């Protein structure tokens, strides 16, 4: 099966590489030519635009930063819709606003193009391992058709419901992750300030009820002061913006998410927006006047 892949960033690059390794014929596009060349060196075909990808592929995966990028890649100048045949399916694996997923899907449907929203959780390490968690919204029959393709990049692929549902699940995920990283930061700066070794506290608690995937992924980064992304704070701000907009529009109550938004905005104002979101620890460190490291 020939697959188009648009967006070869931190996530899209390893995901597309896994598809090539699994034997899929790929046609790829990104504004970043170095990323396209890297995939081409593995046997993928380089395209010069989304329209060019769509001329060759009836199934196209997008992995882009946010809603405006997906809208532009799908419906903008030289975008997918300009080259696509009716019946083309776009699987958008970006994390975007679920309301926009629905709108883009309606505009694409008028051109005979179907959209599924299939955002992922797991970050770069799981993108490399091919063990992402994928949460999917859209037509169930289309989901069934593409399940095996998605499983090449994933450890789990779950159908959540109609278009937009994948991104609703992803926003729920991002609320939980942000609040958890803050909890880890708060606890480890507390431990340090109280005179215990944050490393030993982490080792002591990781097997108990406080243990979590977030703790195991992010505490070691905080302990070694490695804030290289991973998942950038600016992208998490994007997700929390989408989450709070969605929550406010339906009168859902999200005070902890709002608090995390303010913490991340403070970090952005401090110049940390390109850091991994484990740098939430820096907010606590600055106020507590201790570092978790060592
Ligand atoms: P990234 O910024 O590293 O990559 C995005 C890529 O899209 C870039 O290479 C950029 O050049 C390209 N791009 C942007 N607009 C384009 C367009 N119109 N046409 C072609 N290419 C275009 O971002 P990322 O970290 O790979 O994240 C991608 C998505 O996955 C985001 O929605 C993010 O929230 C989500 N996500 C990221 C992580 C993570 O840990 N990085 C984890 C889960 C989900």
Q: Is 170 a catalytic residue?
A: yes
> Could you tell me the distance, in angstroms and rounded to a whole number, from the CA of residue 94 to the centre of ligand 1?
7
> Could you tell me the distance, in angstroms and rounded to a whole number, from the CA of residue 97 to the centre of ligand 1?
14
Separation between Cα atoms, residue 25 and residue 154, nearest integer Å:
18
For the four alpha carbons of 258, 261, 263 and 265, in that order, the dihedral sign comes to: negative
pTM of the predicted model as reported, rounded to 2 decimal places: 0.94
In sequence order, the 6+-apart residues with CB closer than 8 A to the CB of 52 are: 27, 29, 78, 83
In the chain, how many H helices and how many E strands?
14, 9
Over its length of 294 residues, how does the chain's per-residue pLDDT go in tens digits? 899 999 999 999 999 999 999 999 999 999 999 999 999 999 999 999 999 999 999 999 999 999 999 999 999 999 999 999 999 999 999 999 999 999 999 999 999 999 999 999 998 999 999 999 999 999 999 999 999 999 999 999 999 999 999 999 999 999 999 999 999 999 999 999 999 999 999 999 999 999 999 999 999 999 999 999 989 999 999 999 999 999 999 999 999 999 999 999 999 999 999 999 999 999 999 999 999 997
Q: How much is the pLDDT for 1?
A: 83
Separation between Cα atoms, residue 273 and residue 232, nearest integer Å:
7
Q: Which of 45, 170, 218, 238 is catalytic?
A: 170
What's the CA angle centered on 127, arms 211 and 215, to 5 degrees? 15
Which DSSP category does 250 fall into? Answer: T
What's the CA angle centered on 50, arms 83 and 46, to 5 degrees? 115
Residue nearest to atom 18 of ligand 1 (CA): 73
Distances (CA, A) of 229 to 37, 225, 235: 22, 12, 11
DSSP β-bridge partners for residue 29? 6
Q: List, as one string, the DSSP characters of 40-63.
A: HHTTPEE-SSHHHHHHH-SEEEE-
């Amino acid at each position: 099966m020939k697959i188009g892949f648009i967006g070869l960033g931190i996530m899209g690059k390893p995901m597309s590489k896994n598809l090539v390794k699994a034997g899929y014929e790929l046609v790829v596009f990104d504004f970043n030519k170095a990323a396209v060349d890297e995939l081409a060196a593995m046997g993928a075909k380089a395209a010069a635009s989304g329209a060019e990808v769509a001329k060759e592929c009836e199934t196209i995966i997008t992995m882009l930063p946010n809603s405006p990028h997906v809208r532009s890649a799908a419906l903008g100048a030289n975008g997918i819709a300009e080259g696509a045949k009716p019946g083309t399916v776009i699987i958008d694996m970006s994390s975007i606003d679920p309301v926009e997923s629905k709108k883009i899907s309606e505009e694409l449907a008028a051109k005979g193009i179907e959209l599924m929203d299939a955002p992922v959780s797991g970050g770069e390490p799981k993108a490399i391992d091919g063990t992402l968690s994928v949460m999917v919204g859209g037509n169930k029959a289309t989901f069934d058709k593409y399940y095996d393709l998605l499983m090449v990049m994933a450890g789990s692929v779950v159908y959540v419901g109609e278009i937009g549902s994948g991104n609703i699940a992803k926003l729920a995920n991002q609320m939980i992750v942000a609040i958890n990283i803050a909890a880890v930061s708060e606890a480890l700066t507390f431990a340090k300030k109280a005179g215990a070794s944050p490393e030993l506290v982490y080792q002591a608690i990781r097997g108990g009820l406080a243990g979590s995937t977030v703790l195991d992924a992010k505490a070691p980064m905080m302990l070694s002061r490695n804030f290289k992304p991973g998942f950038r704070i600016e992208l998490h701000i994007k997700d929390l913006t989408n989450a709070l907009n969605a929550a406010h529009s339906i009168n859902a109550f999200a005070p902890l998410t709002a608090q995390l938004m303010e913490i991340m905005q403070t970090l952005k104002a401090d110049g940390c927006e390109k850091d991994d979101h484990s740098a939430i620890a820096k907010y606590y460190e600055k106020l507590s006047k201790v570092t978790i490291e060592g």
